[in-house]
Chain A
Amino acid sequence: QVQLVQSGAEVKKPGASVKVSCEASGYTFIAYYIHWVRQAPGQRLQWMGWINPNSDDTNYAHEFQGRVTMTRDTSISTAYMELSRLTSDDTAVYYCAKDRGKQDNIFDIWGQGTMVTVSS
């Protein structure tokens, strides 16, 4: 079945970087954009950006530009999201999500989430 499986929880110190992986299976990885969405405690879902696995093009929300890098490895159908210069405000669950269609920007399959805790 179509699924996205993410890497495990991370604990990082302020100023560090974190890299979360998202392995896709059950569909043609390069055919659909992968988006990243996060949810901080008690907050709404927040879209971070997308990567086109076919072209490697990316588009990041303004808030994260300069601090986020989305990449992919088509040989293992895996997308990555790296966030640098972490602060406590980056403590959140990070999700990858598959685009429903040809850049619909609607998310039909989500990963299980990766908890990232930033603490000194």
Chain B
Amino acid sequence: EAGVAQSPRYKIIEKRQSVAFWCNPISGHATLYWYQQILGQGPKLLIQFQNNGVVDDSQLPKDRFSAERLKGVDSTLKIQPAKLEDSAVYLCASYSGGAGAATSEQFFGPGTRLTVL
């Protein structure tokens, strides 16, 4: 099966500009996550969707970050305006399991590397 797709793979912007990232999860996966991975650190959850509803956005800096998953499939993450400290890899993941599932695994996309100058 096709994996989690993300675009763009790389983005360089000036501070105070806006940027958007796109994610297409594995077909049929209802749960979608966005993680931020700063260099030298582990990924940190920004937001979790179940279908098109938000399950957890407690770590999302809502003054500048927004995310949507309008039709319960693709998702976009936006930063406006960007700050220097937003330089990171943004990872999208989708979840294969569910209650009673024999397996459970989050599948990760390749990520988008953002550099804010």
A binds B: no
Chain B interface residues (CB < 8 Å from chain A):
none
